[in-house]
Each structure stands twice: as structure tokens, then as C-alpha cells.
Structure 1
Amino acid sequence: MFEDTVELAENKLLLLYIFNKIKLPISNNNITQIILENNFINYFTLQQYLEELISSNFVKQIDELGTHRFMITEKGTKVLSLFGNRISNKKIDTIDNYLKGQMEIIKKEVTVTANYTIENNNFIVNLKALENDSILIDIKITVGSNQHAKDLCHRWKNNSSELYSRIINLLISE
């Protein structure tokens, strides 16, 4: 019983450590990928821990443009600073090494969003890019099919820098 409680506490602290280390609001998919790829916690337990961290106000959920992202709170940061030494060095090293290789991908996913909604049989695609919490570009385009909406979202996520540059050049050129 005691070992289970210690493991539960360490796993929740590990989640707080990850959120604190990334310093950006990240999606459930991002945190799930980090945890599962490193074999720390199974999916269902992870989801339970996230809910418990939110209900304890150690992590907050941010909803923007239909996407849900998680971020450590000030209370979570305090708890981590008090009890973070209870996370094994092996787990910290594993997370640190993993994040070194994945941070650019995570940042891109956080700063570049593409999604769509359906209104009156039209698909409204919202393409957005952020830099340092400032909006670089936020475009809404209406297209006639689900496939066009998916294609636009896919192209934006994969080529946002190039597309942004081309749009700016088109707008400022004479």
C-alpha cells in the first residue's frame, strides 16, 4: 500500500515536472505521447492523474479555439519545488533527454494551430501562428468540403513558416 502511494505521488510530481520544464500549454496528446513513449504510466492512469491534478489546482486546463491544453499553475510549481526531489534521477534524466530531442516539435504544435468547424454546410478553417504569445497570423477561410478543410489544416501544420512568408510577401508587394 505504501509503495503504491509513493509511486502515485512520484508520477504526479513527474507530470508537474514535465509541465514546468516545457513552460508552454500543451495538449493531452503531447503529454500522453511523452509519458507513453517513455513507459512511465499507462494511458488510463495518466488520464486519472491529469484530472486529479486539475481538481487540486496544480494544473489548469486552457481552452482556446476548441483545443484543450494543460499548464502548470503557481500552486503546482510550489508543490514541485517542495517535493520535486522525490522524483527519481533516472526519470528526470529520461524526461530531460527526451525533451531535448522533442522540444522543437512540441513548440511548433503549440504555436501553430489549424482546425475547422462546420457552419451551414460550410467548413470554416482557422489557421493560426503565435510567437511569444503574440499572434503572427490568424486566418479564417471558408471551404466547401471536409477534405479541403483537412488538406488546408495539414498543409498549414507542415509548412506554416513558408506559407506565412508567402502570404506576407503577397500582401506587401506592389
Structure 2
Amino acid sequence: MFIDNSKELAQNKLLILYILDNADIPMNNSEITQFLLENNYMNYFLAQQFISELVSSKFIEFSIKDGQEYYHLSNAGKDTLSFFNDRIPQTLKEEVIKRFQKKKEEMVKESQIIGNYYKKSESEYIVNLKVIEKDINLFSMSLNVVSNKQAKMICNNWKKNPHEIYKQIFDLLIDE
């Protein structure tokens, strides 16, 4: 019983390392946890415990960008994964790659299209809309609106259809 448990614990930690190794984009704790939960790889408490243990043992490092911690493999994590890679069943690796590909597309879209707002005064909200690609700000626009409702609506519409909105703005600006 103990051997099976320790084998499963090791496999779960290796799975987290494997996910981070195959991520082309930085992932924060919530994104890692959400992926693990959505696919029933482990429960929330185990995910948090394993991530914490992997950070403590220096297999995972994190960097802070825009006030958010993003995790990545350390050299020790890469070495460990490469040494014990065969302990993750091939079918599980293939399943993770397939499911993670879809998740990466969603995460990239979320990280590239940004729409947020903040309250400046009682009747003034500032809405910020951006398109970012590979850390390059392609488009940025700030609007001043009078209500929370308008600010939310603008952000929601931006996130639903950013390409069409961007195209219309661009076309209006270059129209002769």
C-alpha cells in the first residue's frame, strides 16, 4: 500500500513538472490548478501541496510579472523530469499534450486580449483595452466612461470580438 501511494505521489509531481515543461507560455498557480482539476488529475488540496513542495525543493521556480507569480521549471526540475520521464505512462503524456494544447490556445487568447477598467471618481471610469503579442503592445486604448455598466459592457464586448473591433478602429484611422 505504501509503495503504491509513494509511486502515485511521485507520478503526480512528475505530471506537474511535465505540464510546466510542455507549456510554451507562463502559467500561474490558478491556471495549473484549474488544468489539473478540469481533467481530474488530482484534487485541489493535492495540487497545492505538490506545487508548494516542488517550489520548496527548487524543482519549480517562479517569476513575478504584473503582480502575478508565474511558474516555470528550474534546471533541477528539467533534469529530474528527464531522468524520471518514463515513470509517467505514455498514454497519460499523450492525453496531457492533447488537452493542454486546447488549454494553451485559451490561455494565449486571454493573455493577448486585455480589457479592464477602474473607478476614477464617483461618475468616471477608465477602460483600458489592449492587444499584446509576445510582450509587444500592438494596440492600446483608454476610454473615459460615466458608469460601471458602460465600462463592463465595453470590456465584455472587447473580449468577445477583439479582432473585429480592432479592424474597424484601424480601418477608420487609415481611411482617406
User: TM-score, normalization: structure 1?
Assistant: 0.80
Which residue of the partner structure matches residue 124 of structure 1? 126
Which residue of the partner structure matches residue 4 of structure 1? 5
> Structure 1: any 5+ residue segments left out of the alignment?
none
Which residue of the partner structure matches residue 153 of structure 1? 155
* Identity in percent: 38
State the Cα deviation string for residues 100-143 of structure 1 (Å, max 9, x = none). Answer: 44442232122222222333333332222222332211223333
Distance 1:96 1:82 in 2: 19
Which residue of the partner structure matches residue 172 of structure 1? 174
Structure 1 pair 161–55 and aligned structure 2 pair: CA distance change class (3 A)? farther
SS in 2 for 1:167: helix
SS in 2 for 1:130: strand
Distance 1:165 1:48 in 2: 45
Deviates more, 1:160-169 or 1:53-62: 53-62
State the Cα deviation string for residues 33-58 of structure 1 (Å, max 9, x = none). Answer: 32122110112222333333344441
> Structure 2: any 5+ residue segments left out of the alignment?
none
SS in 2 for 1:8: helix
Distance 1:128 1:24 in 2: 18
Which residue of the partner structure matches residue 98 of structure 1? 99
Q: How is 1:4-23 mapped onto 2 (pairs within 5 angstroms)?
A: 4-23=5-24
Structure 1 pair 136–144 and aligned structure 2 pair: CA distance change class (3 A)? same
SS in 1 for 2:25: coil
Distance 2:6 2:111 in 1: 33
Distance 2:144 2:49 in 1: 38
Q: Rg: which structure is higher?
A: 2
> How many corresponding residue pairs?
172
User: TM-score, normalization: structure 2?
Assistant: 0.79
Q: Is the 8 A contact 2:27 2:72 kept in 1?
A: no
SS in 1 for 2:161: helix
1:133 has 2:148 as partner: no
Distance 1:126 1:56 in 2: 39
Q: Is the 8 A contact 1:26 1:110 kept in 2?
A: no
Which residue of the partner structure matches residue 71 of structure 2? 71
